[in-house]
C-alpha cells in the first residue's frame, strides 16, 4: 500500500470519529467503511464502525464487524463492550452479559 492510500484512509477514519462524536452515526459509518475499503481489516476502524452501527441501531451489522475487530485485537475491551451492546440490541442477553463479564474481569481497578 502506498503512503497516499494510507493517509486517505487515515483522514476518513478521523472524519468518521468526528462524525461519531457529533452523533451522525450514518455518516460516521460511511467514513469508516470508506477507510476500510482502502485499508482492510484495521481493528481500530472496525471497532469504530461497530460503534457507529450500534449507535444507529444496526446491531446485526455491528456484531459482524466487532467480531472481525476482535479477531485482530482479542484483548480490546472497547470492542467487547460494543459487542455486548450489539448482542443486547439483538435480544441475546446471556451472550451480552458474558461479554460484559469479560470486560469486568479484565478491567484494572
What does the pLDDT read at residue 108? Answer: 63
Kindly report, residue by residue over 24-74, the tens digit of the pLDDT: 999 999 999 999 999 999 999 999 999 999 999 999 999 999 999 999 999
What does the pLDDT read at residue 12? Answer: 98
For the chain, give the percent of residues with pLDDT over 90: 94
Rounded alpha-carbon distances, angstroms, from residue 63 to 19, 23, 55, 67, 106 = 20, 20, 12, 6, 21
Instruction: Collect all residues with Cβ–Cβ distance below 8 Å to 22 and sequence separation of at least 6.
Output: none
H or E element in which residue 42 lies: none
Say whether pLDDT at 109 is over 80: no
Domains of the chain listed by start with CATH number: 3-106 (1.25.40.10)
Amino acid at each position: 500500500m502506498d503512503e497516499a492510500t494510507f493517509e486517505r484512509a487515515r483522514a476518513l477514519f478521523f472524519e468518521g470519529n468526528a462524525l461519531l462524536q457529533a452523533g451522525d452515526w450514518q455518516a460516521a459509518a460511511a467514513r469508516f467503511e470508506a477507510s476500510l475499503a482502502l485499508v482492510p481489516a484495521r481493528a481500530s476502524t472496525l471497532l469504530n464502525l461497530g460503534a457507529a452501527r450500534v449507535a444507529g441501531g444496526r446491531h446485526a451489522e455491528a456484531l459482524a464487524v466487532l467480531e472481525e475487530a476482535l479477531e485482530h485485537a482479542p484483548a480490546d475491551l472497547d470492542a467487547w463492550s460494543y459487542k455486548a451492546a450489539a448482542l443486547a440490541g439483538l435480544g441475546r442477553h446471556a451472550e451480552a452479559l458474558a461479554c460484559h463479564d469479560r470486560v469486568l474481569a479484565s478491567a484494572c481497578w
